[in-house]
Homo-oligomer: A and B are copies of this chain.
């Protein structure tokens, strides 16, 4: 499919898709036509973009995603791919713990605020 359709289906702008491609998160092939230089995206790319998109929302950097996508699709060395995936998973779990700490802090604050409300 062409970038417009991909943009439509993924919910990402053309610019963003091109940015991701330039950064090695996805790849495309030249279209069949001899007369243009349009890019052709496979259905797989749509799935990849959906993953990338949710990962970006989760705060994972493009650089990190590049590493992951390369590990999945370009790596000729599965054990290296494994290393990357395990490392990123560990990182993400740490991140969850950090966020949970912040939530715990907020919960405590909430208790105090509600006490203040009760003291009206």
Which chain A residues have a beta carbon within 8 Å of chain B's beta carbons?
A: 51, 54-55, 57-60, 68, 72, 78-79, 81-82, 85-86, 88-89, 92-93, 95-96, 98-103, 105-107, 109-110, 113-114, 116-117
Contacts and interface: CB of A to CB of B under 8 A. Distances in A.
A92 B86 contact: no
Contact of A78 (B60, B93, B102, B116): B116
Contacts of A82: 110, 113-114, 117
Q: How many copies does the complex hold?
A: 2
A113 B58 contact: no
Contacts of A117: 78-79, 82
Contacts of A68: 106
Contacts of A99: 58-59, 92, 95-96, 99
Nearest to A119: B78
A103 B103 CA distance: 20
